[in-house]
Amino acid sequence: MKDLKGIYTALLTPFDRNGKINEEALKQLVKHNLNLGADGFYVCGSTGEALMLNVEERKQIMKIVKENAESANLIAHIGSISERDAHALAAYAKELDYDLISSVAPFYYKFSFPEIRDYYIRLAEKSDMKMLVYHIPVFSGVGMGFDELSSFLEDDRFAGIKFTSNDFFTMERCKNRFPDKLLLSGYDEMILSGLAMGADGGIGSTYNFMADKFVLIRKLFLEGKTEEARKVQNEANRIISVLIKIGVMQAEKEIMNQLGFDFGHCLPPFKKVTAEGKKLLKEEVLPYIRKADV
């Protein structure tokens, strides 16, 4: 099996003025991230606003990314509150030869754990793809502890977990019990904690414009240079603190615009970044990230 450890950019979705996916900007984003050293892409996740897109738009994104990142590791987030849509997307991920599928837990209706588990199993089985469970309790409202996560990890149909939680105790227990499963840390501002507790890499939204910092943190960590890795984490976190003041995804898109890409804005109901927010990003973020060749 391919080595899927590493740094994955959770791709943003650029929109043009008519609200259509901006294919050109998406291709440039993929290229820029390969230049920054990203090992792969997490496609159509939370960062990509995928839960607000329709199936056709998600397929369009999956196809463009595949065509422009042939050799990168590719994970398709196919999760949807409509399981029928999720199956269609999983089948398409298989057709495009993605490495893994991934899904947020079915949310909103407060499904029982056996219902959630069966959802994942049906998707993996029907598509004949390995599943990376997307554990993000703050957004999904679905809390899963060691016992629930283990029930996935002990099963061959599951590749591992995208772990977006600061419960590093549970992360460590999972890695310790299932060392061969893939554990990817989801909070950019705590990737070093994730690595220290056994994560094999990370998936993140701020990687879109500073993947190089996370590649470096992981490299330094693997070389045992924890103090140096923490300095790079500090740099990233100063930037993330600015993003949080504005709204993380909205700010990320604005940064891409300031780098010279044509990303547009997040879909409503997300608000557009104010003039004041733009100024803050221009002064406190833009000078500290690598320029793009656009």
Sign of the Cα torsion 110, 114, 116, 119 reads negative
Q: In terms of DSSP H, where are the helices of the chain?
A: 23-36, 55-68, 83-95, 113-127, 137-140, 146-153, 168-177, 191-196, 207-222, 226-246, 248-258, 275-284
Residue 73 or residue 206: which is nearer to ligand MN9 going by CB?
Answer: 206
Which residue lies nearer to ligand MN9 by CB, 139 or 288?
Answer: 139
Q: Select 98 or 187, whichever has its Cβ closest to ligand MN9.
A: 187
Q: How far is the CB of 10 from ligand MN9 (least distance, A)?
A: 5
Please say if 134 is a catalytic residue.
yes
Active-site residue, selected from the candidate residues 59, 66, 130, 162: 162
Smallest distance from the beta carbon of 188 to ligand MN9, in angstroms? 4
Name the site residues for ligand MN9 (rule: CB under 6 A). Answer: 10, 46-47, 139, 164, 186-189, 203-206, 240, 248
Whether 288 is catalytic: no
From 42, 98, 134, 207, active-site residue: 134
Q: What angle do CA 264, 165, 220 make, to 5 degrees?
A: 85
Burial code (b: 16+ CB inside 10 Å, e: under 16) for 214-249 equals: bbbbbebbeeeeeeebeebbebbbebbebbeebbeb
Q: To the nearest whole angstrom, how small is the minimum distance from the Cβ of residue 250 to ligand MN9?
A: 11
The minimum distance between CB 88 and ligand MN9, in angstroms, equals: 24
Just list the catalytic residues.
134, 162
